[in-house]
Amino acid sequence: MKALPVLPIAIPLATAIVTVFLGRSMRGKIVVSLTGGGASFVSALLLLKAVWGGGTLVHAMGSWPPPFGIILVADLLSSGLVLLSSGVALVTLCYSVGYVEEAGQRLMYHPLFHLLMLGIYGAFLTGDIFNLFVFFEILLISSYALVAFAGEDYQLEAALKYATINLIASAVFLVAVGGLYGVMGTLNMADLGLKIGQLQDPGPLLTIFLLFIAVFGAKASLFPFYFWLPDAHSSAPTPISAVLSGVLVKVGAYSILRVSTVIFVTLGPEAKGWILALAAVTMVVGACGALAQSDVKRLLAYSSVGQMGYIILGLGIGTPLALVSTLLFIVNHALAKAMLFLTAGVVIEATGTREMKNMGGLSRTMPWTAGAFLVGVMAIAGVPPLFGFFAKFLLIQAALEAGYGLLAALAAALAIVTLWYLFAAWQQIFWREASGHALQHAPRLMTGSGLVLAAVILIGTVCLNPVVDFLKSVEAQLRQPDAYVTAVFREVMNPSGTP
Amino acid sequence: MTTMLALTIGVLFGTGTFLLLRRNALKVIIGLSLISHGANVLLVTSGGFAGNRPPIIGPGGVPYVDPLPQALVLTAIVISFGVTAFLVVLLYRLYQRTGTVDMDHIRKLRG
């Protein structure tokens, strides 16, 4: 029970190590890897259940009490995101078994995949800024290697761009951490939140906060740090594209949310203008970029940039309604974009091309895939019965209530552009005249994985009320940074952990 | 001492940024590692670096310097070493396949 927050980090680590040492046995690697993925998902479920029932869980690594030791903090937001990403990861892992060629699976695919997930779960769970940096580096270096995994020229080039921009971001992260430590003398998030409240003169804190926004923006593809994303997400092997677009960019959004609600509570309003402006430009750039694409994976990658703009817009507005809509956006985009990449991968496998103009008429031969893709298109575009619609609706309502009429109009206009390019893509791939190409048979496992995510989206739509109620309690918890601080320091008062 | 360190940090960031803007990808990688060094030195300085003082509490309460930033920098150095090594291998692979390290010639992904 006490060790629950460690499990989502320990399980992928163990799986990665075991899969490295399994040598070249492919069957063994697949079995261990899927077991590890399943175990991560189950541990995330248990974690969320424990947090939901018993409040924020804190684990001091090596029993060093905060603020000296590194702590893991699982509140509703962290454990919810761990559950979401471990679910997407599990489905993607099943898909990978059918997708990644045998040589790759015999080599390092499975260990790298689990290390990537380890970094993601760790970033969600850690309660220490420098530890966040370390987990960022773990997830980044695994994802560089995975983007370049098949070793084609364009993949190497995308990985080089991706690694370069994120290495600069890492250096900036260190500068920001150094500045923060120089001013505050601590790096524990809860301790920072406590001390910042008592600070007389904010000094360079606004600068430090904006440095953090830039660093996390580079992960969350905020304008002007987005340009690596369309290359990296479209060049990566398809299951990795799904994880990068579905889960990894959310780590950036989560970190912005975390530092602005726990640490820089007092600075929120001053930096708001910056965040809103960058988010608005990101939305425009993503939508316009997607309009111009003929390659299906590039189109989906640009659409991710646009959707991240919406997510960060919600963070910037920052009213309770806006935060609920942002969280709904994160859930919707994680599931739907991962699913779109997976089904696009099935189509690419079947037709042997990524150009949408060379596809066409596939709804007759691949009805299930066409249906799944349509669900994803409707979810991202925000067509009424699906919860993508409610996310956009709530966001526009929140913007209007907070007095940002112009931003609300922009969000609504770009929602129509999103609708346009996504339906145009669906129509080009599945509707028109058949192109007459001979179709390859895509493995059942790949089609099935896409359908599972489509089913989850539909179930989520049917159970919209419980989902929104849950997100409201997440948001209510975010509103009380004091509760976060108290939960962390209860550990110091009472190290044995008995309440 | 602080002025000296500030100048060092400035020079490291300046040359690093200059090299980042080159077309030769190898120079970009060198620039990246210079910038990482700059960030590391800055991190050490932020803990109140004071020349000859040790980062441990000695006998009889000898004045010591905050050890935390130095521990952080060790981690950061190892990480940037690993990432730089990966980047060099990546570039070497790209060089083997395309025969150039000029980004203008390598660049195929646009728009």
Beta bridge partners of A60: A71
Phi, psi at A74, each rounded to 5°: -110, 100
Spell out which residues of chain A touch residue B19, defining contact as CB-CB under 8 Å. none
Do the domain assignments include residue B57?
Answer: yes
User: CATH number of the domain that B57 lies in?
Assistant: 1.10.287.3510
Whether residue A181 lies within 8 A of chain B, CB to CB, comes out as yes
Task: Tell me the pLDDT tens digit for each residue of B44-59.
Answer: 888 776 666 777 777 7
For A286, name the nearest residue in chain B, comparing CA atoms only: B111
Mean pLDDT across the stretch A204-214? 89
Phi, psi at A58, each rounded to 5°: -125, 135
Tell if the CB–CB gap between A151 and B39 is shorter than 8 Å.
no
> What pairing do the DSSP bridges indicate for beta strands A57-60 and A71-74?
antiparallel
Mean pLDDT across the stretch A145-159? 89
Do the domain assignments include residue B34?
Answer: yes
Q: What sign results for the dihedral spanned by CA atoms A70, A75, A78, A83?
A: positive
Spell out which residues of chain B touch residue A137, defining contact as CB-CB under 8 Å. 79, 83
Tell me the three state secondary structure of residue A220: coil
Whether residue A178 lies within 8 A of chain B, CB to CB, comes out as yes
Confidence at residue A398, expressed as pLDDT on a 0 to 100 scale: 93
Mean pLDDT across the stretch A194-208? 81
Confidence check: pLDDT of A495 > 60? no
Whether residue A156 lies within 8 A of chain B, CB to CB, comes out as yes
Whats the size of chain B, residue-wise? 111
Distance of alpha carbon A209 from alpha carbon A195, whole angstroms: 15
Distance of alpha carbon A370 from alpha carbon A434, whole angstroms: 14
CA angle, A370 then A371 then A374, to 5°? 85
Spatial CA neighbour of A117 closest among A212, A174, A38, A177: A38
Whether residue A128 lies within 8 A of chain B, CB to CB, comes out as no
What total of structural domains would you count in chain B? Answer: 1
Confidence at residue B50, expressed as pLDDT on a 0 to 100 scale: 67
Beta bridge partners of A73: A58
Whether residue A215 lies within 8 A of chain B, CB to CB, comes out as no
What percent of chain A lies above the pLDDT cut of 90?
Answer: 51
Tell if the CB–CB gap between B80 and A167 is shorter than 8 Å.
yes
User: pLDDT averaged over chain A?
Assistant: 88
| Helices and strands (H, E) in chain A, number of each type | 22, 2
Interface of B with A (CB under 8 A): 20, 25, 28, 32, 35-36, 38-40, 42-43, 45-48, 68-69, 72, 75-76, 79-80, 82-84, 86-87, 90-91, 93-94, 97-98, 106-109, 111
Spell out which residues of chain A touch residue B94, defining contact as CB-CB under 8 Å. 153, 156-157, 160
Name the strand (E) or helix (H) holding A302.
helix A296-317
Mean pLDDT across the stretch A101-111? 86
Spatial CA neighbour of A453 closest among A139, A93, A112: A93
**A138: closest CA of chain B, how far (Å):** 9
Tell if the CB–CB gap between B72 and A177 is shorter than 8 Å.
yes
Do the domain assignments include residue B79?
Answer: yes
Confidence check: pLDDT of A148 > 80? yes
- Asked if residue A12 lies in contact with residue A115, where contact means CB atoms within 8 angstroms, the answer is yes
**B91: closest CA of chain A, how far (Å):** 7
Confidence at residue A497, expressed as pLDDT on a 0 to 100 scale: 44
Under the banding of pLDDT at 50, 70 and 90, the label for residue A499 is very low
- Asked if residue A117 lies in contact with residue A86, where contact means CB atoms within 8 angstroms, the answer is yes
Q: Which of A160, A168, A231 minimises the CB distance to B90?
A: A160
Task: Tell me the pLDDT tens digit for each residue of A405-428.
Answer: 899 999 999 999 999 999 999 988
- Asked if residue A294 lies in contact with residue A357, where contact means CB atoms within 8 angstroms, the answer is yes
The lowest-confidence range among A95-104, A117-126, A139-148 is A95-104
Whether residue A289 lies within 8 A of chain B, CB to CB, comes out as yes
Q: Domain range holding B30?
A: 2-106
Better pLDDT: A474 or A202: A474
**B1: closest CA of chain A, how far (Å):** 17
Tell me the three state secondary structure of residue A117: helix
DSSP letter (8 states) at residue A71: E
Considering the entire predicted model, what is its pTM?
0.92
For B47, name the nearest residue in chain A, comparing CA atoms only: A182
Distance of alpha carbon A177 from alpha carbon A186, whole angstroms: 10
Confidence at residue A131, expressed as pLDDT on a 0 to 100 scale: 93
Q: What is the ipTM of this complex?
A: 0.91
Spell out which residues of chain A touch residue B68, defining contact as CB-CB under 8 Å. 181, 187
Distance of alpha carbon B49 from alpha carbon A248, whole angstroms: 36
Task: Tell me the pLDDT tens digit for each residue of A37-86.
Answer: 999 999 999 999 999 988 888 888 887 877 778 889 998 999 999 999 99
Tell if the CB–CB gap between B32 and A167 is shorter than 8 Å.
yes
Spatial CA neighbour of A332 closest among A399, A218, A234, A253: A253
Choose the mutation target among B24, B75, B90 for the interface with A, i.e. most A CBs under 10 Å: B90
Do the domain assignments include residue B7?
Answer: yes
Better pLDDT: A325 or A358: A325
Distance of alpha carbon A19 from alpha carbon B44, whole angstroms: 38
- Asked if residue A128 lies in contact with residue A187, where contact means CB atoms within 8 angstroms, the answer is yes
Cβ burial of A38 (10 Å; 0-12, 13-18, 19+) is middle
Tell me the three state secondary structure of residue A146: helix
Confidence at residue A491, expressed as pLDDT on a 0 to 100 scale: 62
Q: How many CB atoms lie within 10 A of CB A354?
A: 18
Q: Which of A158, A167, A178 minimises the CB distance to B42?
A: A178
Question: Which residues make Cβ contacts (< 8 Å) with residue B91, sequence separation at least 6?
Answer: A160, B25, B26, B29, B101
**A360: closest CA of chain B, how far (Å):** 24
Confidence at residue A26, expressed as pLDDT on a 0 to 100 scale: 84
For A69, name the nearest residue in chain B, comparing CA atoms only: B68
Choose the mutation target among B46, B74, B84, B87 for the interface with A, i.e. most A CBs under 10 Å: B46
Spell out which residues of chain B touch residue A141, defining contact as CB-CB under 8 Å. 82-83, 86
Under the banding of pLDDT at 50, 70 and 90, the label for residue A384 is confident
The lowest-confidence range among A210-214, A369-373, A457-461, B66-70 is B66-70
Confidence at residue A363, expressed as pLDDT on a 0 to 100 scale: 81
Distance of alpha carbon A344 from alpha carbon A321, whole angstroms: 33
Do the domain assignments include residue B111?
Answer: no
**Residue A5: half-sphere exposure toward Cβ, Cα within 13 Å:** 24
The lowest-confidence range among A93-107, A127-141, A391-405, B52-66 is B52-66
Distance of alpha carbon A416 from alpha carbon A412, whole angstroms: 7
Mean pLDDT across the stretch A25-43? 91
Question: Which residues make Cβ contacts (< 8 Å) with residue A377, sequence separation at least 6?
Answer: A340, A422, A423, A425, A426
Tell if the CB–CB gap between A144 and B68 is shorter than 8 Å.
no
Three-class HEC string of chain B: CHHHHHHHHHHHHHHHHHHHCCCEHHHHHHHHHHHHHHHHHHHHHHCCCCCCCCCCCCCCCCCCCCCHHHHHHHHHHHHHHHHHHHHHHHHHHHHHHHCCCEHHHHCCCCC
Which CA distances in Å does B78 have to A169, A178, A386?
A: 17, 17, 46
Do the domain assignments include residue B69?
Answer: yes
Tell me the three state secondary structure of residue A293: coil
Spell out which residues of chain A touch residue B45, defining contact as CB-CB under 8 Å. 178, 182
Confidence at residue A441, expressed as pLDDT on a 0 to 100 scale: 79
